[in-house]
Every structure is written in structure tokens, then in C-alpha cells.
Structure 1
Amino acid sequence: MNRKTGRLLFGALLIAALGGGAYWYFAGGAGQTPEQRYRTAEIGRGDVTQTVSANGTLNPVVLISVGTQVSGTVKKLYVDFNDKVTAGQPLLELDDALVSASERQSAASVSSAQATLELATANEARMKALLAEEYVSKQEYDQAAQALKAARAQLALSQAQNARDRANLGFTTIRSPVDGVVIDRVVDLGQTVAASFQTPTLIKIAKDLSEMRIDTSFAEADIGAIREGQKARFTVDAFPDRKFEGVVQQIRLNPTTQQNVVTYNVRISVANPDQILLPGMTAYVTIGVQQRKDALLVPNAALRFKPAEAAPAKAEGGRPPAGMAPGMGAGADGGGAKSGNAKGRKRDGQQATVYVLADGKLQPVAVQLGITDSRNTEVLGGELAEGAQVVVGENGGGGKSPSSVGMRMF
């Protein structure tokens, strides 16, 4: 094949491509009527609830970390994971050889101090009698009285040391402080634990798993709409087809800032009578913050729709076209009201533009928006009436993307 033949072949292919593109454009898009090209939905009335969402973690209402006040080696283990325990029940024992020796030593000190006190008492009584007969001086009697007081103080000190050692000896047996269930055991037999400045955690006990709580973090933009006592719905990955309910119990006043994002902890109380919700599960929480009954609703898809023929150019001075709110194009984002979606939260009172079919043409209609959920948005005002057909998108056979103007070959 010579160069001339190659050029002719390339030209033929280019003409065929241009012809096919033109046929696709006119036959597939422009050849359709607006009723065939666009998908519409009817405007109706219904209930809408605006929600805020966040993820949280399920935790027991009371979770106790059992530690130790003395150091030693784990000698015996009486409980394991998921065991139910009662208050005062032994959980484990530490080797008490050193603590027991200290207790015996302090007990011997008590006996020695007791003997010293008895001798000092006898000396004080003897010196008092001799002083009455003037056989000893007043100074000698005062020394005997002082020795008696010192012996009493030494006995009290020895008794206190012995009481401390006996308490430490009792601490070598770790007991459950409450009735509950063991959810974590950190130590094993033969492991050495050291009680220093921070008490080590040996066992974690959940007091009651029939009542749970969810600790969530909501953004500061959402926290103003959340109130104590509001109902919350949530799901967990373990039961994806089941929805659970809870109640907002507390809004913590202590904020958390990470990467300049401020969040607040919201605690939600949850009843768990079947104990199917387990500690540590991730909960996807949704709280309804606003609700409207019998509101005029427009699908969010209609707010997102922007026809291909609508140019996004702005008017002079950089201002948007008339009838559109600042920051909006021909339509408005109809995203849900999840946490972090500012448009979903702050849409109340904003304006947007939807399109209706009239006389075979698209007609823009300005509307004032209220609250929104993930599907519909409340219409507060405008020329949109109940029963109107709004455009929500283009049919697949239209051939052109709503955001495209035409085929670009180069």
C-alpha cells in the first residue's frame, strides 16, 4: 500500500465516522420528541423527615476494668471469656509469697511493740509510786511517762503496718466488684503484673448487656438540631436487614477537634433485651431532626437535573442568572441529609430551578426549598403546583449525556 492509497483510506474512514456521529446525534437525540427524550415525575404531597447521620460504637452502660493494687505472678485463674460472675466472686489469684512474708514480719513487730508497751506501762506506774515517796525526781518520772507514750505510738504504727500488709495479702485474690459478664481477660497463668503508678487492667466486666449505649461523633453543624430525648434509628453490620431504635441520652459538652473538624460526642441509650447487640459493634445512626406532614415534595433528581442545552454561563458581573440562588446552576444538588452534607442541612429557604415540559419545550420553574431527605425535598414556594410533571433525567435512548453539548472530534 503506497502513501496515496493510505491517505484515501484514512479520509474515507474519517468521513464515515463523521457521518455516523451525525446520524447518532440527529436520529438518537434530536429526532426524539421531548416526551420521549425526558423522564418525568409527578409532584405530590407527603411526609418528609430531615435527618443527620453518624457512625458510632456500641458499648455496655457500665464497663469495669478490674486491676490489681499489688504486684505478683498470676497463680490461679477462676474465670474466662463470657463467664457470668457475681459481686465478690474470686476472679484470679496472685502469688502471695512476698506479701505473706511482709505480713508475718509486721505481725512480729506488733508483738514486739506490745511487749515494749507493757514494760513501759509497768515502769511508769513504778516511777509514779516512787515519786510519791520522793525516792525519784520529777525528771525521772517524766522520762518514764514519755517512754510509755512512745511505746503506745510504736504499737499503733506496727498495727497500721500489719493492717496494710494484711490488706495487701487480701488483694492478691482479685474479686469481682459487680454482677456481670466477663468480656475481656488480659492476663494468663504465669504472667507477672506490676502495680506501679498506673493500675494494670486484668479483666473487663460488663455489668448488664441488656442495656447498651452508642457513642457517636456528630459534626458541629449538626449538633444544634439534636436534642436529648429524640429518637434515633440505627443498623449494624451483623443484622443488615434489621433496624434498631434508641433515644438520645446525652450531648457531651467536651468537643473533639481533628484536622480542624470539630465534633461532639452524642450518647444514645439502647435497649438490648435479647442481648444480640454485642460490645464493639459499629452502629450507623440516623436521628430525625425535622419533620413536615403533608408537604409538597419534589424529587431530588429533579433538582439535580440540568439539560444539555442549558449553558452554565453566568450573567455580567459574575452573578448567576435570575431566579437562581448563589452557588446554584440550572438545578440544585439533591443529596441526602447525611452528616457533613451542608446543602442537605441548610437548604431551608434556598431557591433552585426545576424543569417542566410545556408546549413540547423545557420550561424552567423557580422554587423555594425547605427540608430534605435522601429522596425528596419540601417545596415552600414558587410556581410549581401539585400534579405538575417535572423532568428528572433523560431516557437512555436519548444518546446524549445531559452534561454534554455535542460530539467533539478534536
Structure 2
Amino acid sequence: MSWSRFPHLVLPIAVLLLLAGCQKEEEQATEVVRPVLSMIVSERIDAAASFAGKVQPKVQTELGFRVIGRLVARDVTVGDAVVAGAELAALDPTAFELALRSAKADLASAEATLSNATAAEERLTALLKTDTESQATVDSAQQSREAAQASLIRATAGLAKSEEQLSYTKLKSNFDGIVTATGAEVGQVVSAGEMVVTVARPGERDAVVDVPDGIALFPIGTPFSVALQINPDLKVNGTVREIAPAADPVTRTRRVKIALDNPPVGFRLGTTITATRQGAEHELMLIPSTAVFEREGKRFVWIVNERGGDVTAREVEVGADVGGLRPVTAGLKPGERIATAGAHSLEEGQKVKISDGARS
């Protein structure tokens, strides 16, 4: 098509193309401003709190038989004190006694076979000296004697195994303790390894409490005062030794174990207690765990510059994650705004816009 035939269309089309090019350049030059969720850092009072719980053993062992069988005796129940070596339960030993008798018979047979093979070898060796027997016959007798010796060793090991299997029909305590649970009744067939009796060491005891998720911000070693609910005047000191890494999905609580320091006799296993955190109230600066990211082994957060509308990475020191929050020990001041989401996708100096869902 020749444009000379339509001169009146050339100028408008050129203007439109020029405007379209300028618009593309303006769009490319416009920097994308990303909306971010953010919050203003503040301090809150972490008051001493009390939690109800129970006294539980620090160490308890679930004991079970090493072999399968029918339970014919259980000599203990919950609350009984046992000593090391005490018999706790027993299985029907009939099948194992029969196996032991068979092993003894195999051993007697192997001993008799070895005795005959040894005597035969000695006779043939003596005849070989008088040239009345061949060397091949003597060698065959020697091989028979060696085979009999191997059979005796196997029979001896079989007897020892049968005796050990028979001993497995009796369940004994490995240490002094208290029975805290039972898992089988007389007449029940139990599998190898199935819990029959649980024995706890009474010396070392814990106060076990369930703390609502998000409150358990105290670290390992935090001191507590533990008192009996039946007698609040009877108290003992303790320190946190273990905090469950995850909350119970149903109750949304974390199990906290407090090691008791020389608990008196009144702190019996199963006793209900009240654990109260020691120390004066103090302030905590808490931020969401999603606001923290790591680079080269260091932890950072994004500081939102409300005037410039950009973000800057700043190194911080934070405690362990508990309930999705982390206490800040250094690097932040109250009143500063930080990004709380998308920390791994932001860049230094990136323009951002505070989202409507930002925390004040």
C-alpha cells in the first residue's frame, strides 16, 4: 500500500506511535512499590505467672518381656515399691522348659557322639602303628571326631540359649523404684517388648505443668517456686529443664518440666502442685518469628522507613522461638517499625507500602 495515496493519515498515526512509546518508557521507569505487613515494636510486661500441674518422676522405664507368652502372674500394682532384682511378673514357662529339656538331650547326645568318635580315633591310631590300618581310615576317624566336637559346641550353645530364653519368662526390676503403671493382666497374651509394668525412680522428680501456647517464653533454667495444693505452705524451688518444642494440637498448650531441688517427702508422685515463676516483673520486646531471617549465621529484620518508604536490614539478637514469637535482646528499640512477613523476598532499599493490615 502506498502512503502517498492517503497523506491525511500519516501524521495521526505517527503521533499515536510516539505517544505509545512514551507511555511504555514511563511504565518501565516507574518502580514497583510492594505492600508489606509490618508492626511497631513495643515492650510488654512479663508478669510472674502460676500454673497447676503434678509431680512426676524424672526417669521411668517401661518394662516388658523379651519373648511372647501368656501372662500367668503379676505380683505388683500401681504404687508398690520394688527393689532391684524383685520379680514383677511371669509368663507361662511350659514351652520354654520343654525347649530346655530338648537342648539338654541334644547336649548329652553330642557328648556321647564325641566320646565314641574320640575312642575310635585312638584305636585306629594305635592300629596304624602296627600297619594293620591305613592312613585314610585314621584321617576319616579324625574328621568324625572333629565333627563331633563341633556338634558338642553347637549343643552347648543351644542349651545356654534355652536357659536364657527360660529366664526371659520372669520380669524383674533393674533398679529400686515405684510402680507407676501396668499394661497387662493375668491371662493376657503379651508380645515381646509390650509394656507390662512401668517403674519410676523416686529420687529425682519433676513438676510437670501445661502452659498456654504463647506464654511459655521463659528459657531453660528459669527459677520456679513449687507448692503443694493440699498444703501451700510446703514449697520447694525448681528450675525449668525442658519445654515441649511444639504445642499440643488439641489443647494448644506446651508441656514444661521443672526439676525439683531436693523435694521433701510430701512431694509424692502424682501429687497436685502449683508452680509460680520467681523474680520480679520485667519487660519483654517480642516480635513474630516470621520477621527474622538469617544471613551468614546472623539474624536480621527489615526496618521500615516510614518517611522514605523503603526497608533496611538490621542485625538483631533474639531468643528461641516459642509460640511463634521471639524475644529481642539487642538491635531494636521500642517505636521502630519492622516488616513481619516476606522477610526472605525483600531487598535492601526496596520501596514498600505499609499494608492496611499492618499492626500498630
TM-score range normalised by the length of the shorter chain: 0.5 to 0.7
| Matched residue, 1:272 | 263
- Who is 1:246 aligned against? 238
Match of 1:211 among 204, 211, 225: 204
Identity level (%): 26
8 Å CA contact retained: 1:50, 1:288: no
**How far apart are the structure 2 equivalents of 1:77 and 1:87?**
16
CA distance, structure 2, for counterparts of residue 341 and residue 102 of structure 1: 59
The structure-2 alpha-carbon separation of the partners of 1:86 and 1:225, relative to structure 1 and needing over 3 Å to count, comes to closer
Equivalent position SS for 1:117: helix
The alignment status of 1:75 with 2:72, answered yes or no, reads yes
- Aligned in 2, Cα 1:117/1:289: closer, same or farther, shift over 3 Å? farther
AA aligned opposite 2:161 = R
1:30-179 aligned at under 5 Å gives the runs 58-179=55-176
Cα drift, residue 55 of structure 1: 8.2
1:95 to 1:319, Cα distance in 2 relative to 1, 3 A: same
What are structure 1's unaligned runs of at least 5 residues? 1-47, 293-317, 321-338, 353-410
Q: Distance in 1 between matches of 2:259 and 2:191?
A: 36
Q: CA deviation at 1:283?
A: 6.5
What do residues 103-128 of structure 1 show as CA deviations (whole Å, max 9, x unaligned)?
A: 10111101000100101111121222
1:222 is displaced (CA, Å) by: 8.7
Is the Cα–Cα contact under 8 Å of residues 233 and 243 in structure 1 kept in the other structure?
yes
SS of alignment partner, residue 196 of structure 2: strand
| One-letter code aligned to 2:223 | K
Scaled by the length of structure 1, the TM-score of the pair is 0.50
On the 8 A contact 2:48/2:276 being kept in 1, the answer is no
Deviation at 1:136, TM superposition (A): 2.5
User: Which shows bigger deviation, 144-153 or 132-141?
Assistant: 132-141
Shift of 1:165: 1.1
CA RMSD of aligned residues (A): 4.4
Structure 2 length-normalised TM: 0.56
Distance in 2 between residues matched to 1:121 and 1:205, nearest whole Å = 53
Unpaired stretches in structure 2, ≥5 consecutive residues: 1-44, 284-304, 308-321, 337-360
Alpha carbons of structure 1 residues 227 and 141: separation in structure 2 relative to 1, 3 Å: same
Q: Is the 8 A contact 1:87 1:178 kept in 2?
A: yes
Match of 1:367 in 2: none
Supply the distance in 1 between the matched residues of 2:280 and 2:114 (Cα, whole angstroms): 75
CA distance 1:319–1:156, shift in 2 (3 Å): same
Q: Distance in 2 between matches of 1:345 and 1:57?
A: 32
> Which residue number corresponds to residue 350 of structure 1?
334
Match status 1:202 vs 2:186: no
Q: Work out the CA distance in 2 between the residues paired with 1:101 and 1:289.
A: 70
Q: Quote how far apart the aligned CAs of 1:272 are.
A: 2.7
What secondary structure, in the 3-state scheme, does the structure 2 residue paired with 1:69 have? coil
Rounded Cα–Cα distance in structure 1 between residues aligned with 2:181 and 2:274: 21
The corresponding residue for 1:233 is: 225
> CA separation in 1, counterparts of 2:218 and 2:77?
44
Closer, same or farther: CA 342–107 of 1 in aligned 2, 3 Å: closer
Contact 2:52/2:272 (CA < 8 Å) preserved in 1?
no
> In structure 2, do the counterparts of structure 1 residues 266 and 136 end up closer, same or farther at CA, with 3 Å as the change threshold?
farther
- 1:42 equivalent in structure 2: none
CA positional deviation for 1:232: 2.5
